[in-house]
Structures are given as C-alpha cells and as structure tokens.
Chain A
Amino acid sequence: MSLTDLSAVRQDLAKAHGLPNAHYIDQGVFDEEKNAVLFANWSSVGVAAQVPEPGDALPLTFLGVPLLLLRDTSGVVRVFQNTCRHRGMILVDEPRKIEGAIRCPYHSWCYSTAGKLVSTPHVGGPGQNTHPEIDRTTLGLIEIRSHVWMDVVFVNIDGTAPAFEDANADVIARWAEFDKPIYHGGADSQFNLSVATNWKLAVENYCESYHLPWVHPGLNSYSRLEDHYNIEAPGHYAGQGTLVYRQMAGDDGAAFDDFADLSDKWDTAAEYIALFPNTLLGVHRDHTFAIVLTPEALDKTVEQIHLYYTTPQTPDAARTKNTALWKEVFKEDVFVVEGMQRGRHGPAFDGGKFSPAMDGPTHVFHDWIAAQVERHRAAPHAAE
C-alpha cells in the first residue's frame, strides 16, 4: 500500500482539501485507519442498555475483533475479548443471560462474569482439574479497556489512549448539565440503519448543518440554516447546534419531562456532536440520543440509534412519534452518505473543496483523522 498524502488535509480550512479518495475506497487504508484511528482511540461498540441486568451478555464484532459486552454480577459493564484463553474458541455466540459462569463450549473452561478463570476441567488429566503449568490467575479473560458515558460503551482496543475522561474532558464539561440519569426508551426507541458507505461519511454528514435545508426540507419550517451554529473543537470533536429546538409532544399533547436544572440556553437549544471517531450524540432539554457507527466493511456501516429520556416511563405517543421523527431524518441522510461513497470512485476527485463558512466541523474531523494516521505512521510499529 502506498501511503496517502495528507498534507492538503492538514491545511487551514480555507485552503484545505478533504481526505483523499483512498481513505474511503482502498482496503489498505481502511486497515491502516482501523489501527490508527478506531483501535487507538475511544470507539463506541454499543450501549449499556443492551445489557440491562447482571449476567446479560451480548457478543459483538468490531472490525473483526470478537467482543463480549457483559454486565457482571455486581452490575459493572465490562467488555472482554470473546475468546477462550485455552484454544481460542468463541465463548458466547448469541445474546443471553449468564446465570453463573461463562463456560467455553469446547473444553468447558469456566470464567466468572468478572473474567476470572474459575475452572479448568480435566486440564491435568481425567478428573484432575489443576496442573502446575496452568496458573488460573494469569489466564482470565482478556478485558478490553472500556468506559460508559451517556450510556454509550466506548472501548480502546489497543489500550494506548489517554483515559476517557481526559481525552474527552472538553465535551464532558460542555454537556455537564446533562450529566444526569438517562433512561433508554426501550424497544421502540432503537433502530439500525445499514448503509453502503464508509463510516467516516456518516460522521461528516452529521457534523454539518449546511445540508439541512436541502436534505431535510421538513426541518426548514422551524429550523432554518441561520438558526444553527458550528461546533468546532479541533483535535477532539465537532458538530452543530440549533437555537430553535421545540419541545417534543405526542398527538395527545403529552410531553417528556425536561432534564432538571438546565440553564435557560437549553430552553430552545440543542446540540449534535460527533465524538471522534465513531459516536454521534445529540442533547435536547427533554431527550438525548446516541448513534453508534459500526464499520462492517470499507463501504458498509451499521448505524445503531438509541433514544433516551429523563424518566424511566415516558408517554407512549410522544415516544413513538419522536422515534419516527428521528428515523425519518436519519433515513433522509442515507442517499447522501451512499452517494458520497460512490462519488469517491471518481479518480480525479481531490478530496473536495470546503466552504470556509459552513464546513469547519467537517474539516475538524478530517484534520483529526489525518493527525491520527500521521501519528500512527510515525510510530515505530508502523513499519512492521
């Protein structure tokens, strides 16, 4: 693989070009970004609400890595490599409740939900479950570094990222007023969209408000372009905000409870932030949402959308209406992210020219991606 030239991406917004085509259509670059961007930072893989009870286990695959999202018996959400320490067998094949221990279906090595190896049957011969060379204390499940924020489960696969709270201190402070309990809306408040695009294009489209009047004309009546502002935190996150959010209510007039003690700003403001690399978040006075982008291939991404509220119980009509509203908006974006993916097979496309006024958030993301890739290339392991 020849290395892409990222110098144009690193320019100031007015002079910069977007990431080269290869970052969307070249398998070698995809693999490079896997390590440089998605494994080296805090990537989301799911939400804690997917394992609501102690013992709930959900197997996941993130860029080929088999993971097990699990809530242990003490209630702590953990992420393990879903691989037995003995012969590398996949431990849990489908979502289920772990009643006691995780038993490998191959030779029945057993692990606690905290990952401790608790039994190694016949490892010393029939009926002999110990052996001097089998030190159970060193053979627990491989735990992946994880952190839960806004109910999103983030993992740092390679273990090199700064602590989540340090890496994301700025956005955590920005949204400190929303640091209160949130409650998943349940089965009717989640949906997936499978999109034929590179995962980054979903981030880029989410970051900017420039497209809103053209792609989401339904928003125009109450949310005009000039009612939005760019959010740019170079090196960390980007997004957009609106000044005219109107509180959601069902056709029966019932609305959601607001977050307690919000400042006046949030009466009509809402913000939508892409937390790099692959998490899209939105906050409003009465609900939040999280979108987990799972790259399934170079040109295939699953968008997993979860909606949250301020109370465990919410009005049914308002909740289903809210899900329908967001589903409509996010589906309206599908042709755009898929079209941009196809467009990047045009060999003369140069990454694109940014609007200095409107594309700042997108450039912040491109510049961050380029910085991650350059850092990876400069590291000693890059030559291996």
Chain B
Amino acid sequence: MTARSTLDAQLLKAHAQGDTRALIALYTEAANTVAEGEAFYLTHAYVFALECGAPEVPALHARLAALGSEPAL
C-alpha cells in the first residue's frame, strides 16, 4: 500500500504530466485505500478511463453502480 502522502505526490505528478493512464491507476488505488472516499476517487478513475477509452471502464462503472454513484447499465 502506498502511503497517502506518496499517493498525493504521485497524483499531482500525473496531473501535471497529463498522464491519464497513471491517473486511472492512482485514483483506483486511492479508492481502495481511503475508506471514506471510495466513490469520490473511483469517479475520478472512471472519468479518466472514459476519456482514454481504457479497458478499466466496465469494472470501474460496475463498482460505482454498486455504490449507487452511477446508474446501472
């Protein structure tokens, strides 16, 4: 598990570099590790996955739908 401060730094770096692939992975990791922010961080991972047509889209959508954050398909 990545420490919160390290994750923050990696996210900032990925945002600065426009590294969408990294953003998907890092926000997914944040969702997995920050209990109170699962839907929030998953949403970010999902949005960046949508943007680049990433293969993670179905799985991320399913998790958000299960949380009631996105409509079920």
Contact = CB atoms under 8 A, between A and B. Distances in A.
Q: How large is the interface on A (under 10, 10 to 19, 20 to 34, 35 or more residues)?
A: 10 to 19
B58 interface: no
Contacts of A140: none
A348 to B, nearest CB: 59
A118 B47 CA distance: 10
B70 A127 contact: no
B12 interface: no
Contact of B46 (A119, A126, A130): A119
Contacts of B68: 128
B26 interface: no
Contacts of A99: 51-53
Given A127-B40, A128-B39, A129-B43, A100 B70 contact: no
Given A103-B47, A110-B50, A127-B69, 6 more contacts: A121-B47, A127-B42, A127-B67, A128-B68, A128-B69, A130-B71
Contacts of B43: 121-122, 127, 129
Interface in A120-137: 121-122, 126-130
A100 B50 contact: yes
A100 B53 contact: yes
B30 interface: no
Contacts of B29: none
A110 B51 contact: yes
B69 A129 contact: yes
A99 B42 CA distance: 20
Nearest to A113: B53
A118 B73 CA distance: 11
A129 B40 contact: no
B22 interface: no
Interface residues on B, range: 20 to 34
A130 B46 CA distance: 14
A318 to B, nearest CB: 40
Secondary structure dominating the interface of B: helix
B52 A100 contact: yes
A372 B21 CA distance: 52
12 contacts: A100-B50, A100-B57, A103-B51, A118-B50, A119-B50, A121-B46, A122-B43, A126-B39, A127-B39, A128-B69, A129-B64, A130-B71
Contacts of A110: 47, 50-51
A108 interface: yes
A265 to B, nearest CB: 49
Most B CB atoms within 10 A — which of A99, A100, A121, A127? Answer: A127
Given A130-B70, A130-B71, A100 B40 contact: no
A243 interface: no
A110 B64 CA distance: 16
B70 A119 contact: yes
Most chain A Cβ neighbours within 10 Å, of B38, B43, B44, B46: B43
A98 to B, nearest CB: 8
Given A110-B50, A110-B51, A129 B38 contact: no
Interface in B5-37: 37
